[in-house]
Copies of this chain bind each other. A is one copy, B any other.
Amino acid sequence: MRFTRAAIHTSKEAPKDADSANARLLTQGGFIHRELAGVYTYLSLGKRVLKKIEQIVREEMCSVDSVEIGMPALTPIENWIQSGRDQVDIAYRPSEKTILGWSHEEIVTPLAREYISSWKDLPLSLFQIQTKFRNEARAKAGVLRGREFLMKDAYSFHATQEDLDQYYQQMLQAYLRVYARCGLKAYAIEASGGVFTQKISHEFSVITKVGEDVVIFEEVKGKLKNPQNAEIATGIPPQAIFSPSAKLEKRTVKRPNSITETAKIFGLQEYEILKTVVFALPKGKEVELVGISLRGDLEVNLSKVMAYFQNDRVRPASGEELINAGLVQGFISPIRNTKIPFYADESVKEMTNCNTGANEPDQDYFQANAERDATFTDWSDFVLVKEGFTSKQTGNPLKSEKCIEAGNIFDLGTKYSDVFNIRFTDKDGTAKTPVMGCYGIGVSRLMGTIVEAHHDEKGILWPKSVAPYQVVIIPLGKSESLEFATSLKKAQELEQELEKSGIEALLDDREESAGKKFADADLIGIPLRIVVSPRTLEKNAVEWKERANAEAEEVEIEKVAARIKNFFLPK
């Protein structure tokens, strides 16, 4: 393909509103064009990449016997009323009777009902690669979180939980193959559930600098293992040494409401301070307050508090709520305090000879022994695991990494089968409800994730499998000179030979400087660059330079096509 016919439009200037590497590089490289916040046109290069990712996803879905269909974006509101999801904020409603599908359980489940009447009709797995619409309050990070995006969603139906469990594992492996083929190292991480289900689910996380998610890994000989979702990760806090407590002592103090500052003033380690955070538990219109106590150097993990109290509306209590409950902000402790119930993190157990508030203004307890002096309703693991912790299982150090969530899979149980009343006759003649799994990958999001994982200061480094073109061929020579004509002719011959072998070559036939052509090739991120210039042709050679490799080398012109084919399609 000639560059001048490929409708490629690169830009030197980074877009002003780019908040991430993918937004910046995909825009500058001419892959995407922003139309609205979170809504992009995929330009010639972007569409090529998207189609390649789509095809990888499609092939892996077919490899687990999922069958491709195409559901519409316009969906009937009755179905959402039936499942109780008609009032979800992110749903666009183009008319009174329709919702633009932001997920498709409400369509695929009634559809599957028509297929399923006997155990012989199971398992059934359907997938689609389709445009989803979500009215995100804050679309951001380029194609990572958009209002309109391309998604692969699959739904499977099974006669037994065992069959679903087995298929779920197959799907998990298919997902890992998708990421590997897209040049990404993804970790399958058991997730805490969320709005979809309380049953098992996995997120697939890719380590990048801009990830919204945090994943805790064990570090073993420089390698990352056993990833845990930070929301549910467990670990042993950094070691703390306590001296034995004498009798609990109450003193008048002048100190700020800051663990770090207080530790300095009293010459203590932060871990020697017993910290208590008060949370509000909304229940209907009522709000109950609870205190969570933990070591001063640690933090509370809100997700663990939500899980413990089975309440996803838990939030830190407000100053007003503290005052109304008779609590003194900055001096709250579970010692001799019955105003609200207190719960202790496991880290509190060993705390002796520590400092904490005395529930009165400017009054602290010293020489506290938390287990001895405080009254706790219960003990549990409430701690936010961070770098510096060690594994409970192996004692290995834990490391925290920012990740992009690049897909997820869910065991839905009979949630939607029940709502839409699917029943089948089992082998023994009884009527049963099939169990369901669902499996999502954001295809356009994957494109952004690849850019986040593979770029440098010059531009993108596409993995071979998804690069918009595999080779860029750059003929050089002074414009309109015989030399340039010769370079162009040799470059064209090479392009045609490669195209015949199914290698996608981009011939940069523009009348631009070598510098501009090299810069664009780097920005666009084509894996291999071949330069045909008067200087190399003198030696009957071309210049070979891989995008991922700083070194260039010369290759004999007769041998280059074979070497390129072997580079992309090794036998």
Contact = CB atoms under 8 A, between A and B. Distances in A.
A44 interface: yes
Contacts of A223: none
Contact of A124 (B7, B94, B115): B7
Interface stretch (A68-76, A197-205, A256-264): A68-76
Contacts of A33: 111, 114
A39 interface: yes
A92 B99 CA distance: 11
Contacts of A73: 73, 131, 133, 148
A126 B7 contact: yes
A35 B74 contact: yes
Nearest to A93: B94
Of the four ranges (under 10, 10 to 19, 20 to 34, 35 or more), the interface on chain A belongs to 35 or more
Given A69-B42, A69-B47, A73-B148, A133 B36 contact: no
Contacts of A47: 68-70, 128
A94 B97 contact: no
A435 interface: no
B74 A41 contact: no
A445 interface: no
B67 A7 contact: yes
A503 interface: no
A-B CB proximity, top 5 nearest:
A92-B94, A42-B70, A7-B67, A94-B94, A41-B71
A552 B47 CA distance: 46
Contact of A43 (B6, B9, B69, B75): B69
B5 A65 contact: yes
A551 B73 CA distance: 44
Contacts of A133: 73-74, 94
10 contacts: A7-B115, A33-B111, A33-B114, A35-B72, A35-B76, A35-B107, A39-B74, A42-B70, A74-B147, A92-B95
A75 B71 CA distance: 21
A379 interface: no
A437 to B, nearest CB: 16
Contacts of A46: 69-70
Contacts of A147: 74
Contacts of A74: 35-36, 39, 133, 147-148
